[in-house]
Chains A and B, each alone.
Chain A
């Protein structure tokens, strides 16, 4: 096979895969091989395509070099006289600058890039994503137009990001039902990639939106998916929300095991507020069946976290609440007398905390 064909084949292989999680490593290898092939037999248009794909991969990985890669691509496109590729690269550069922290630089570049892109409908998706990254006007309409039709395989990641950005833009416009549909499309693309971790994140974003809009029943199945398939941080987030929902319905049988798992996960991460939240949920769940078990669970957890250097202030708060509730319920059996610092019993009264 001649060198230029090899370079072309490598470029085609790059285009055949979208930069989702599992494919990223392979795309990096293809990119390196293509650089070597182009070193032996330079091909300016292929080099430009390679730069754009490399920039996209760097953006997905959150690497700040992405903006510089796209800037180089724009320069080469201008040298080739390819106006569409030039506009495309500059829009990518705007998006990279905006998503990687240089909003002011992105805005400065956007005006001309946006204007030039009007003539090229094929890059409408990149334009919409650049506008969305800047929270600019017209982002939602650009994305809706661009996402009407499915593009080639290499565009899958951009489409996924586009649906996600569209969902967020629609939520800002209070069109949350449409936003949910957009998030669902993003989730489906991630699942089909397949990128289970990304699909779990999309499911969590969708669930959070539903919870915000007072739809916990619709959110619960999504949270369960995240709980089963997500990475640690997403699992813990979903688990805390699920145990809360279960408790709100009085379902201690569902809440208890969830809270226990979240407690273990939080302890492992040394995430002490999550530990407190999970412990309080676990204690509440146990307390629904056995009133004495609630305080015992809290005390046990307090001992455990203080042994690891965490004061456990919110666990103390919950214990204070329980003591206060018991003092307000006269039909309850008497608690052990409360003593002051000197050891003398303190008179019971209707006010205050035990």
Chain B
């Protein structure tokens, strides 16, 4: 298991368990150390890491290090406090628990209006409004590839061996670290050229220690190395979403392959083939869109972090898409100084690929279409509407008289009530899914788009609440009809079914539009350069 995965897992577990930080006296205060670690010239040395870990706890330290060194520098080993299997088991249990707890929280929060959060950006309107409000200027020049991200990664990667710890060291050797011969000098990075512009997977493979299997421990062999996992993830995305047949074919192959010995060779080949697959796709789709879509698709943690943040927001009774987003990215990136310039809206093919990337990361749940009211009484009060109508049809064929339904009975409404509950729950779940999409887009694009993403989420949240409120109103109107003659309530029943179908379709449209809008934000951001 990679240090990145371990760190992310520990962070999430600690958030849920709300571990108290360990307080151990040290020469520097935690704040001073934190500033040192997160400063512009940070040298994340093992000594600083150990000192801070003793003060704020491993989880918080892991988060800080992740913020500083994510995808860029070498991973710093943080002392493991749990067995790997116990971690996985615990997380699995918590995954199941989160969904059940969140379902109830979604349903209960959707009816109440939320207080307005920060910002006064315009929101509301239909799904198409996200486009108009946040789309780019069609007359502007195409956005340049943001050189900042690669430059930062390259500067950070200069540290090379000197800062890498041997992952097999035992505790007695903590004070030693070994350096090799000096690395050749790294030239000042230029603006990306050629295939350098396809750096979606390159960014994940910059830790020399992580991809060297010098002496793997037995338990490490039970899991695929992180570099290969990233390549396989990219392959999974491309094999389903790429529009070029060769890109899809190459995507299906990504993973371990025949070659020379060692993990580095495997990772290099998988990474190279992944980049070439992106190059094939970029022959038909704009290259920045291909790279951004792949970058989004590799943000595997976005979904988990969004759900964890949703759980925290639910506990605080502040369950809204923009609040979930705020919680998930809190402290992660510096505040946006101002609006970044925007590039033109992507073409249809590019938009399709971006949408597929968001779907790949978020894995949205299906929205079930609403059921119908049972029109015939089957004699079995627990039968669903479909079974009841089939029974009625068979009774008619067999000449068995059905029980006359003169008045609307409560059990007839049950399928519709269930559908309303499901729809409200789906609207709540869509809050978290929208936030997850925004988290992935933010990570792919960089800090300057935070305000834009948040504004989209506020608008989406208002739409979702309206869907939930209107669905609940339909249910309340129906409940008032119980006991009324069937002939009189029939039109109302049809109206209610039609209304629920409309709201269900509207939910799908809002979610689709949200994903499309956040994908475009990720693509058109220029990073404020």
Question: What is A's interface to B at a CB cutoff of 8 Å?
Answer: 62, 64, 99-104, 164, 168, 171, 201, 204-205, 208-209, 211-212, 216, 233-234, 236-237, 240-241, 243-245, 247-248, 266, 268-274, 276-278, 280-281, 284-285, 299, 302-303, 306-311, 313-321, 323-325, 328, 338-341, 346, 349, 351-354
Q: When the two chains form their complex, are residues B245 and A205 in contact, meaning their CB atoms are under 8 A apart?
A: yes
Q: When the two chains form their complex, are residues B157 and A245 in contact, meaning their CB atoms are under 8 A apart?
A: no
Which among B196, B208, B248, B258 is the interface contact of A316 at CB below 8 angstroms? B208
Contacting A at CB under 8 A, from B325-354, are 347-353
Q: Which residues of A contact B213 (CB under 8 A)?
A: 321
A79 to B159, CA, bound (A): 70
A168 to B352, CA, bound (A): 20
A237 to B247, CA, bound (A): 11
Q: B379 in the interface, Cβ–Cβ < 8 Å?
A: no
Q: Which residues of B contact A323 (CB under 8 A)?
A: 180, 214
Q: B30 in the interface, Cβ–Cβ < 8 Å?
A: no
Q: When the two chains form their complex, are residues B267 and A211 in contact, meaning their CB atoms are under 8 A apart?
A: no
Nearest CB in chain B: distance from A97 CB, A: 9
Q: B113 in the interface, Cβ–Cβ < 8 Å?
A: no
9 CB contacts below 8 A, A to B, read A101-B353, A168-B245, A168-B249, A209-B252, A276-B268, A302-B183, A320-B208, A346-B176, A351-B169
Select from chain B the residue with minimum beta-carbon distance to A311: B157
Given A64-B348, A248-B259, A311 contacting B154 (CB threshold 8 A)? yes
A310 to B252, CA, bound (A): 28
Q: When the two chains form their complex, are residues B265 and A277 in contact, meaning their CB atoms are under 8 A apart?
A: yes
Which among B154, B173, B214 is the interface contact of A324 at CB below 8 angstroms? B214
- A-B complex: 10 closest residue pairs judged by Cβ atoms: A101-B352, A324-B214, A244-B259, A270-B194, A284-B260, A271-B195, A316-B208, A311-B157, A274-B272, A317-B264
Q: Which residues of A contact B158 (CB under 8 A)?
A: 311
Q: When the two chains form their complex, are residues A352 and B215 in contact, meaning their CB atoms are under 8 A apart?
A: yes
A277 to B152, CA, bound (A): 23
The segment out of B184-192, B362-370, B416-424, B467-475 that lies at the interface is: B184-192
Q: Which residues of B contact A234 (CB under 8 A)?
A: 246
Contacting A at CB under 8 A, from B379-420, are none
A274 to B283, CA, bound (A): 18
Additional 14 contacts, C-beta under 8 A, given A237-B276, A240-B272, A240-B273: A64-B347, A164-B245, A168-B249, A233-B276, A309-B188, A310-B154, A311-B154, A317-B212, A320-B161, A320-B180, A321-B212, A321-B213, A323-B180, A340-B177
Q: When the two chains form their complex, are residues A320 and B214 in contact, meaning their CB atoms are under 8 A apart?
A: yes
Q: Which residues of B contact A324 (CB under 8 A)?
A: 212, 214-215
Nearest CB in chain B: distance from A109 CB, A: 15
A308 to B187, CA, bound (A): 6
Q: When the two chains form their complex, are residues A306 and B185 in contact, meaning their CB atoms are under 8 A apart?
A: yes
Given A273-B271, A316-B161, A309 contacting B180 (CB threshold 8 A)? no
| Residue interface mask B227-270, A partner, CB < 8 A = 1 | 00000000000000001011011101100011111111101110
Q: Which residues of B contact A349 (CB under 8 A)?
A: 173
Q: When the two chains form their complex, are residues A352 and B214 in contact, meaning their CB atoms are under 8 A apart?
A: yes
Q: B170 in the interface, Cβ–Cβ < 8 Å?
A: yes
Q: When the two chains form their complex, are residues B202 and A100 in contact, meaning their CB atoms are under 8 A apart?
A: no
A273 to B211, CA, bound (A): 13
Nearest CB in chain A: distance from B367 CB, A: 14
A75 to B202, CA, bound (A): 48
Q: Which residues of A contact B184 (CB under 8 A)?
A: 299, 302-303, 306-307
Question: What is B's interface to A at a CB cutoff of 8 Å?
Answer: 154, 157-158, 160-162, 166, 168-170, 173, 176-180, 183-190, 193-196, 201-202, 205-215, 243, 245-246, 248-250, 252-253, 257-265, 267-269, 271-276, 279-280, 283-285, 347-353, 512
Q: When the two chains form their complex, are residues A321 and B264 in contact, meaning their CB atoms are under 8 A apart?
A: yes
Q: Which residues of A contact B353 (CB under 8 A)?
A: 101
Q: When the two chains form their complex, are residues A353 and B214 in contact, meaning their CB atoms are under 8 A apart?
A: yes
A299 to B160, CA, bound (A): 14
Q: When the two chains form their complex, are residues B186 and A309 in contact, meaning their CB atoms are under 8 A apart?
A: yes
Q: When the two chains form their complex, are residues A208 and B259 in contact, meaning their CB atoms are under 8 A apart?
A: no
Nearest CB in chain B: distance from A16 CB, A: 27
A313 to B258, CA, bound (A): 21
A320 to B267, CA, bound (A): 14
Q: When the two chains form their complex, are residues B265 and A280 in contact, meaning their CB atoms are under 8 A apart?
A: yes
Q: When the two chains form their complex, are residues B178 and A354 in contact, meaning their CB atoms are under 8 A apart?
A: yes
A190 to B202, CA, bound (A): 34
Q: Which residues of A contact B260 (CB under 8 A)?
A: 244, 247-248, 280-281, 284-285
Which among A313, A325, A352 is the interface contact of B206 at CB below 8 angstroms? A313
Select from chain A the residue with minimum beta-carbon distance to B211: A317
Q: Which residues of B contact A244 (CB under 8 A)?
A: 257-260, 269
Nearest CB in chain B: distance from A310 CB, A: 8
Q: When the two chains form their complex, are residues A205 and B275 in contact, meaning their CB atoms are under 8 A apart?
A: no
Q: Which residues of B contact A209 (CB under 8 A)?
A: 249, 252
Which among B194, B250, B258, B348 is the interface contact of A208 at CB below 8 angstroms? B250
Nearest CB in chain B: distance from A349 CB, A: 8
Nearest CB in chain B: distance from A180 CB, A: 12
A205 to B251, CA, bound (A): 11
Q: Which residues of A contact B246 (CB under 8 A)?
A: 201, 204-205, 234
Q: When the two chains form their complex, are residues A101 and B349 in contact, meaning their CB atoms are under 8 A apart?
A: yes
Nearest CB in chain A: distance from B160 CB, A: 6
Q: Which residues of A contact B250 (CB under 8 A)?
A: 208, 237
A101 to B346, CA, bound (A): 11
Q: Which residues of A contact B211 (CB under 8 A)?
A: 313-314, 317
Q: When the two chains form their complex, are residues B265 and A101 in contact, meaning their CB atoms are under 8 A apart?
A: no
Nearest CB in chain A: distance from B355 CB, A: 8
Q: When the two chains form their complex, are residues B179 and A284 in contact, meaning their CB atoms are under 8 A apart?
A: no
A211 to B250, CA, bound (A): 10
A277 to B11, CA, bound (A): 33
Q: Which residues of B contact A325 (CB under 8 A)?
A: 214
Q: When the two chains form their complex, are residues B265 and A281 in contact, meaning their CB atoms are under 8 A apart?
A: yes
Q: Which residues of A contact B215 (CB under 8 A)?
A: 324, 328, 351-353
Select from chain A the residue with minimum beta-carbon distance to B197: A270
Q: When the two chains form their complex, are residues A352 and B162 in contact, meaning their CB atoms are under 8 A apart?
A: no
Select from chain A the residue with minimum beta-carbon distance to B159: A311
Q: Which residues of A contact B284 (CB under 8 A)?
A: 62
Q: When the two chains form their complex, are residues B276 and A340 in contact, meaning their CB atoms are under 8 A apart?
A: no
Q: When the two chains form their complex, are residues B268 and A314 in contact, meaning their CB atoms are under 8 A apart?
A: yes
